[in-house]
Amino acid sequence: MTEESMDIDMSMPTNTVEEFLRMERMPHIWCPGCGIGTTVNCFAHALETSGLDLKKVSIVSGIGCTGRVAGYLKLDSFHTTHGRALPFATGLKLANPDLKVVVYSGDGDLTAIGGNHFIHAARRNVDMTVILINNFIYGMTGGQVAPTTPIGATASTTPYGNFEEPFNLPYLAESCGAVYVARWTAYHVRHATKAIKDALRKRGFSFVEILAPCPTLYSRRNRLGDGLDQMKFYRDNSEVKNDADTKTVGLSFQGKVIVGKFVDKDKPTYLDSMNAFYAQKFGDKYSPYKG
Amino acid sequence: MKADPKGVMAGAFFIDGDHACAEGAIAAGCRFVAGYPITPSTEVVERIAERFPLIGGMFIQMEDEIASSIAIQGAVWGGKKAMTVTSGPGFSLMMEHIGLAAMTETPCVFVDVQRGGPSTGLPTLPGQGDMMQARWGSHGDYGIIALCPNSPQESFDLTIKAFNLAEQYRIPVLLMLDECVGHMTERVVVPPAEEIEITPRRYWEGPKEGFLLFKAAPDRVPPMVKAGDGFNVHVTGLTHDERGYPVMTAPAQEKLVRRLVDKIRLNSEAIIEYREDQTAGADIVIVSYGITSRVAIPAIEQARREGAKVGHLRLITAWPFPAKRIRELSGHVSCFVVPEINYGQMVREVERCVAGRTRVERVSHGGGSVHNPKDIYAKIMSCGKEERR
Ligand SMILES: Cc1ncc(C[n+]2csc(CCOP(=O)(O)OP(=O)(O)O)c2C)c(N)n1
Ligand code: SF4
Ligand SMILES: [Mg+2]
């Protein structure tokens, strides 16, 4: 994909995102150089150009540094419990299918404590967009190992280095049933913005992983410099490979990062399937569930 | 407000307490149920799963009880009345989300059909060992309401009441059945919809401008809205101000948590419900709830035939507990007898209220069956003897 082919005008002044934020809550809690704020900027731009009725957009987070995202967005926003954003979002979406439901949370939140919910939400193909900020670490609690920490990286609970195999998240999402899967980094703001916008427009379980620096805990402990150094690393070591086989996009410690849109397919959503199934079963007696 | 006739299956039926609970939920306007199968509660969701597709309801079997207990909260913010259903092990998994519902003031209903515990315990046999967990199971302080039906009819009636109280106080309400009440089949009368009183959600009707999601009315209950109405609400389990924004200070904690506790404590007279039988002038009062309140009756009647002045106080709300009434009774009662299918839970409340003024005797039973009424009778008679001495 060339930059020209993208329909996002990045020349607009960045403060246009202010109308999407709860400015009265600024300053935010994130550290200088943290990548989470960059991704929120991408998200706000994606919303701005998505054409969505913002009244109907709800954002749901779990707990963590990324979990604080919900609280800064001027949307109906739900900051739930650690790991449980997805089942909350499932209830919200199924209660009112007119809502566009976005889950925005951390790697630990969505794939460690929330891993079971992740695989089931993807399997059911509940219509929602999941934005996962992967900083390879538990930020909020002080830099403990996560299911995404690369082998060899250290964390506060793996002081000698991590030896557990990490998740390859795009592969996990695809195998569980996600209809849209992309990975970008906080360096790739235009691509990430476009991916979020595509994901928001997709019907079904769409998943965007964004790698983001956590300079305070992950970079410092692993002697990777500050947030800027990590951004440079992403610039120099990312390879765009759209449609790459997700099996091949696993990450290693400071190794090559495959980014791109890996999956984009159509499949009936949970509610499509339910309505079609019951319509066949009950005939005229059944009126399609609309919430 | 009257019930929506669409869901109400008016008539007289022979159904068990679990099915009656499902019918009560439907009559109350519940249209979202999330659950995970567990004996002896599964019949509730089975009935819901059968009934919902044709009345516009949404039932989803989630991946576990943690998911179920928060999916219902998402559904409530999406505009539904919602409930989840479980038994001991699942109830334990739901504790964090009872706290979330209390903190975010999300009206919803949790049903626990109690079995023998701890752990996997006695999956198919009765217990009443979750009563303190119902009160204190989630960390931190919060007010809670828990109801204890003792028959399928009451399972129907109190499920409706549970939904109504949840809306009235913006709170999770716990319906504490036990395996016996859940599985016993009796006549249940479902009244026509126009005879069923429903408490509607307390939706904000004022202007959007200046609306505060956690600014309480004089009864300490704030108004509700739902997602998609353009209020841009923020709902968090963190300590928050009236806007719903996190505030990490002791004064903010005091203001919010004090209100969460007070909204039940100061409204408790209106919430508390119990039944009394011959307590005026009684020497001995049995305090019981759920199935045990029925097992106690032959024991009470036998003792009365033998001249003992025995009263019976049956808890309908276990929480809040009728502390004032127990204190009053302790003025003339010489002994309270508290049979429960546990080793002493609600009896601690009786002891607390009596504060040493009179005797309190427990009739404990570990679970797996109901009491033999003879054991309750023997305890009544032994109290009587002590007193005569
Ligand atoms: C049930 C429960 N267990 C543990 C915690 C503590 N906790 C809060 S955030 C977090 C990890 C967050 O990591 P991640 O999801 O990667 O988010 P990040 O802070 O890195 O953005 C943990 C373990 C909690 N809040 N709740
Ligand atoms: S600890 Fe890491 S993830 Fe959390 S705000 Fe700081 S830099 Fe960001
Ligand atoms: Mg993280």
Give the separation between CA A117 and CA A108, rounded to whole angstroms.
Answer: 13
Residues from chain A that touch B246, judged by Cβ atoms under 8 A, are 71, 79
CB spacing of A91 vs B53 below 8 angstroms = no
Lining residues, ligand 2, CB within 6 Å: A 30-31, 34, 36, 65, 135, 139, 214-217
**Joined tokens for residue B286:** 């049995």
Q: Where are the beta strands (DSSP E) in chain B?
A: 11-16, 30-35, 58-61, 81-86, 108-116, 122-126, 145-147, 172-178, 185-190, 234-236, 274-277, 284-288, 310-315, 317-319, 335-340, 359-364
Spatial contact of A207 and A173, defined as CB atoms under 8 Å apart = yes
Residue with tokens 């739900």: A78
Give the separation between CA A192 and CA A42, rounded to whole angstroms.
Answer: 7
pLDDT in tens, B327-364: 999 999 999 999 999 999 999 999 999 999 999 999 99
Given this model, what pLDDT does residue A9 score?
Answer: 52
Q: Could you tell me if B66 and B177 lie in one domain?
A: yes
Instruction: Please check the confidence at residue A14 and state whether its pLDDT lies above 70.
Output: no
CATH of residue B83: 3.40.50.970
Range of the domain at B48: 5-195
CB spacing of A87 vs B78 below 8 angstroms = no
Q: Distance, CA A108 to ligand 1 centroid (Å)?
A: 6
Given this model, what pLDDT does residue B239 score?
Answer: 98
Given this model, what pLDDT does residue A237 score?
Answer: 98
Q: Could you tell me if B180 and B301 lie in one domain?
A: no
Given this model, what pLDDT does residue A11 score?
Answer: 54
Q: For residue B320, is the peptide bond before it cis, meaning its omega torsion is within 30 degrees of 0? A: yes
User: Considering the domain boundaries, does residue B248 fall inside one?
Assistant: no
Instruction: Please check the confidence at residue A4 and state whether its pLDDT lies above 50.
Output: no
**% of residues, chain A, pLDDT over 70:** 95
User: Considering the domain boundaries, does residue B242 fall inside one?
Assistant: no
Q: Could you tell me if B22 and B135 lie in one domain?
A: yes
Instruction: Please check the confidence at residue A10 and state whether its pLDDT lies above 60.
Output: no
Domain A18-266: state its class. Answer: alpha beta
Spatial contact of B82 and B32, defined as CB atoms under 8 Å apart = yes
Give the separation between CA A209 and CA A191, rounded to whole angstroms.
Answer: 12
Given this model, what pLDDT does residue B384 score?
Answer: 73
User: Considering the domain boundaries, does residue B232 fall inside one?
Assistant: no
Q: Of B151, B166, B195, which one is at a domain's C-terminal end?
A: B195
Give the separation between CA B29 and CA B12, rounded to whole angstroms.
Answer: 20
Q: Distance, CA A212 to ligand 3 centroid (Å)?
A: 9
pTM comes to 0.97
User: Considering the domain boundaries, does residue B214 fall inside one?
Assistant: no
User: Using alpha carbons only, what angle is made at residue A20 by residues A29 and A125, rounded to the nearest 5 degrees?
Assistant: 90
Q: Could you tell me if B87 and B190 lie in one domain?
A: yes
**Joined tokens for residue B236:** 């968090």
- Dihedral, CA of residue A90, residue A93, residue A97 and residue A99, to nearest 10: -150
Number of the ligand 1 atom closest to the C-alpha atom of A105: 15
Neighbouring CB atoms inside 10 A of B364's CB total: 15
Q: Please state which of the ranges A9-23, A129-143, A275-289 shows the lowest mean pLDDT.
A: A9-23
CATH of residue B357: 3.40.50.920
First-to-last alpha carbon distance for chain B, in angstroms, is 57
Given this model, what pLDDT does residue B358 score?
Answer: 96
pLDDT in tens, B204-248: 999 999 999 999 999 999 999 999 999 999 999 999 999 999 999
Q: Could you tell me if B75 and B174 lie in one domain?
A: yes
Instruction: Please check the confidence at residue B389 and state whether its pLDDT lies above 60.
Output: no
Given this model, what pLDDT does residue B387 score?
Answer: 52
Number of the ligand 2 atom closest to the C-alpha atom of A35: 8
Q: Of B138, B171, B195, which one is at a domain's C-terminal end?
A: B195
Is the beta carbon of A108 within 6 A of some atom in ligand 1? yes
Q: Of B142, B166, B195, which one is at a domain's C-terminal end?
A: B195
Q: Could you tell me if B25 and B112 lie in one domain?
A: yes
User: Considering the domain boundaries, does residue B219 fall inside one?
Assistant: no
Q: Could you tell me if B186 and B281 lie in one domain?
A: no
User: Considering the domain boundaries, does residue B243 fall inside one?
Assistant: no
**Joined tokens for residue A122:** 């993807």
User: Considering the domain boundaries, does residue B187 fall inside one?
Assistant: yes
> Tell me, what amino acid is at A245?
D
If you take atom 13 of ligand 1, which residue's CA is the nearest one?
A138
**Joined tokens for residue A280:** 């066949």
User: Considering the domain boundaries, does residue B318 fall inside one?
Assistant: yes
Instruction: Please report which confidence band the pLDDT of residue B19 belongs to, taking 50, 70 and 90 as the band edges.
Output: very high
pLDDT in tens, A56-73: 999 999 999 999 999 999
What lies within 8 Å, CB to CB, of B203 at 6+ separation is: B223, B224, B225, B226
Average pLDDT, chain B: 97
Spatial contact of B26 and B51, defined as CB atoms under 8 Å apart = yes
What lies within 8 Å, CB to CB, of A286 at 6+ separation is: A278, A279, B53, B54
Average of per-residue pLDDT across A250-273:
98
Average of per-residue pLDDT across A90-99:
98
CB spacing of B71 vs A60 below 8 angstroms = no
Q: Distance, CA B224 to ligand 3 centroid (Å)?
A: 33
How many domains does one find in chain B? 2
